[in-house]
Structure formats: structure tokens, C-alpha cells
A = this chain, B = another copy of it.
Amino acid sequence: MNIKSKIINETIKSIDLLNEDYLKKARQRLDSLTKPKHSLGMLEDISSRIVAIKETVIPTIEKKAVFVFASDHGITAEGISAYPPEVTAQMVYNFLDEGAAINAISMQTGTDVYVADIGVNHDFPDLKDLLSIKISRGTNNFLKNPAMTSVNAVKSLESGIKIAEKSALHGYDLIAGGEMGIGNTTSAAAVICLCLDLEASEIVGFGTGIDKETWILKVETVDKAIKKYGKKNMSALDVLSSVGGYEIGGIAGLMLGCAKSRIPVVADGFISTAAACIAIKLCPAVFDYLFFSHISSEKGHKLTLEKLNARPILDLDLRLGEGTGAVLAFPIIEAALSVYNNMNTFEKAGVSGEKQ
């Protein structure tokens, strides 16, 4: 499917695979430091990748942000969620009041929190840290009609790209996408199934805590959606408009925009990984700029990460979303860079190397 959007097409075109020279330089530096080779495992992978993303041999992180994209979902009419839909708007106020989990974790890790109303079924007044990018007051029930028009799917991606571009101008150099949207694990499951050709029952989970009966209904709902919209060589935009959510499009756009600006971008849990599926389907090279922060306890997340060949940083049984897992991984990423930048080399420290 041809995307009628200059900004999306230009963004995709600008995202290159990482430069092998920088990866090699990073490897050399890491191997010169006072530790057995590769003994810092994933920390070494993280720092190498950031060297190559930022194309600098002194990679630093100065300013961190999480963007919580909030949106409502018409699919909640099918009774697939444990919480009523009005919780989406209530939680937006809670974020802005700094009372949610994402605020507490961001406070601890020195991360700025912004909330983007990309499709909440509520009119917010102007509020500090609230980005008003509402496309509509929520998606359609995708069992009846496509979740959104393709024009709106494009808009959601563009919104995310624009946020990444502004963030780069403001000096943010580590970014996470989070989300809030009652019903969005159902939408995300459908997105993942259509992107990766998986079965509903493999991917649908218990979301915020539904019972077994509701889970069966949720599987059926996603199954129906796959049957209704699934087709060979379905484009990312088709998937997004058929069963997606505005927040999923927004996060996918954020990922693309960050990659364009050479900013490492951290995926959160299940919804965020659905967004990554869209972003990767649009532009496979974006994968190199993505860090998968954690493996959530939402049923299908593990399999999805495996299919994407993504190794998550944390595994803490989180299933909250909001960006919590992503921001929790920030200190690990920063520690990886501190190791890279601040350790002595064998030579400088006068430490003997391995026996020959």
C-alpha cells in the first residue's frame, strides 16, 4: 500500500542500518577495558548499539523522556476489558497529577513524562505536559468497521514522528513510548497476529486482569477480526487502520522518528511491541534503533519478542504498560554507557591480561 504522507515516506527513507565501523570501534573499546571480554553481557550489546546509533565514540545520555499516548477503543463495546472505558481519561488526569506508576518510576530515574491525548473520549482543558494531538474520540469497534480510516492511521503515525522530531530539538536523547487505553491489549493482540501471522489464542492475554470467560470472548473477538481483515501481504497501514489504536500508531511513529533523529528508543510491553511490529513492517531498519525493555507477563508477549528476534532487558512480571518497563530499563542503559565511557583500559590501569 502506497502511503500518502511525505513525512512518513521521508522518515522511512532516512533510516539507515547501523554503521558497522562504529560497532567495530565500540567492540574494540569494550575489549580494552579492565574486565574479561564480553563479561558484561547485554550491557556491552547496549553500549555498542548506542555508539552506532549516535555515531559517536563518547555516547552520553543527557535528557530522557517518556511519551504516554492515550486513546480509547471502540472494541471495549464487546466487553473484553476488566475496567470501564472512562478509566482512560481518569488515568490521563492521574498522569498529569504525577500519581501513576509511570510518574513514580520516572521521578526515580530522572525522566520527563509527557502525556499525548491522541484519541481519548474526553475533552481535556489545556494542561501542562499534555500534548493535544487528538485524532478522534477513540477508534471504532473493529468487529463492525475498521478501527480507523487510513487517513487517520497516517495521522497517528505522523503525530508520533513529529513528537520525536520536537524531542530531538529539545535535546532528549533517550526516549520511550508508553500508552494508556482501556481495551488496547485486544487491539494490540490483533495487530500482532496480523503482522506476524499468529493465532489469536497464542497471543491474547489477560490484560489488566480479566477472568477466563472474558479471555475466551477476547480470543474469539481477535479471531473474528483476523478472519474479517486478514489477507496476504497485508500492509502495516492496513493492519493499523483495520484493528489498531491511535496510541499504537503514535508509538510506531515515535519509533520511526527517533530512529531518523538517531535517538535510541525503548519499547515498553505488549502494546508498545505491537507498535514496534507496525514500525518494523513499515521500515525493517528501525529495529536497530529499538531497545525492548522487558518481557511482560501478558501471555503473547514472549512469543512476539521471539518472533521479532528481540531480547528484552528486564523480566519482572510487569503488565501495567504506561511505559513503566521502558523507563525502568533506562538506568540499565545508562549504566551500560557509564561502563563504556568511564572504565580504565588494561593498559592505563596496569592490570595483566589473560594468560597466553
List residues of chain A with CB under 8 Å of any chain B CB.
33-37, 39-43, 81-84, 86-87, 90-91, 93-94, 97-101, 103-105, 107-109, 208-209, 297, 313-320, 324, 328, 331-332, 334-335, 338-339, 341-344, 348-355
Contact = CB atoms under 8 A, between A and B. Distances in A.
Given A97-B344, A104-B342, 15 more contacts: A34-B94, A40-B316, A40-B324, A81-B355, A82-B355, A83-B354, A90-B352, A99-B342, A99-B343, A108-B338, A109-B331, A208-B354, A315-B315, A331-B331, A331-B335
Most buried by B among A103, A104, A350: A104
Contact of A90 (B101, B103, B350): B350
Contact of A335 (B90, B104, B342): B104
- Nearest 6 A/B pairs, CB to CB: A41-B317, A99-B344, A331-B331, A108-B338, A104-B342, A36-B208
B316 A332 contact: yes
B101 A334 contact: no
Please give the count of copies of this chain that the complex contains: 2
Given A84-B352, A94-B351, A105-B338, A313 B316 contact: yes
A342 B106 CA distance: 11
A230 to B, nearest CB: 30
B94 A344 contact: yes
A103 B35 CA distance: 12
Contacts of A319: 36, 39, 41
B316 A41 contact: yes
B84 A338 contact: no
Given A94-B344, A349-B99, A355-B82, A208 B39 contact: yes
